[in-house]
Amino acid sequence: MEENQTPPVQQSTSPSSISGQNLVKKVSLAKFSTNLPIVIGSVLVVVAGVITGWFLSGGIKGKKQGEAKVPVSVQTEKEAGIKDESAFRDSAEGTLRQGGINGEGTHHLEREGGPSQNVYLTSSVIDLSAFEGKRVKVWGETISAAKAGWFMDVGRIKVVE
């Protein structure tokens, strides 16, 4: 025999056994009654999720797709913004002046008590410059600020004098 030749490999008579171990095993189907609670529980969880999602999306009385509730807004010389005053938690009254404080706000309300009582304002829906120099009442949401004592995003403004 030559040195580079390898000895022939012995082939097992059974392809499923090597070194006496059986590699292919018969899969025994578990009893149906032991899996029944798991199957029923899984189906119930899926059904409950579908029903919950349907109700949360509006269910029977659901809105038509694309239908949105748009707040009524007003724009006159004496008032501007969203008409519903109850939509805003905060309100303040004073004379509207241009300028914020250290980059916070575009305008401010001068109120009695001096500069410490000013309310600094910004608005994403109203052009506040149309009301400068007038005594106004504003409605909006207080937002956090670094320099301003009171900083508000105005959603409605109305001239009071």
Decide: 109 and 95 in contact? Cβ < 8 Å.
Answer: yes
Decide: 150 and 125 in contact? Cβ < 8 Å.
Answer: no
One DSSP character per residue, 32-77 reads HHHHHHHHHHHHHHHHHHHHHHHHHTTGGGPPPTT---PPPEEE-S
Decide: 58 and 93 in contact? Cβ < 8 Å.
Answer: no
* Domain span(s) for CATH 2.40.50 in the chain: 73-159
- Looking at the structure, give the CATH architecture of the domain made up of residues 73-159: Beta Barrel (2.40)
pLDDT tens for 73-107 read 777 788 888 887 778 888 889 998 888 888 788 88
CB atoms near residue 157 (< 10 Å): 25
pLDDT tens for 142-161 read 888 777 778 888 888 888 87
**pTM for the whole structure:** 0.53
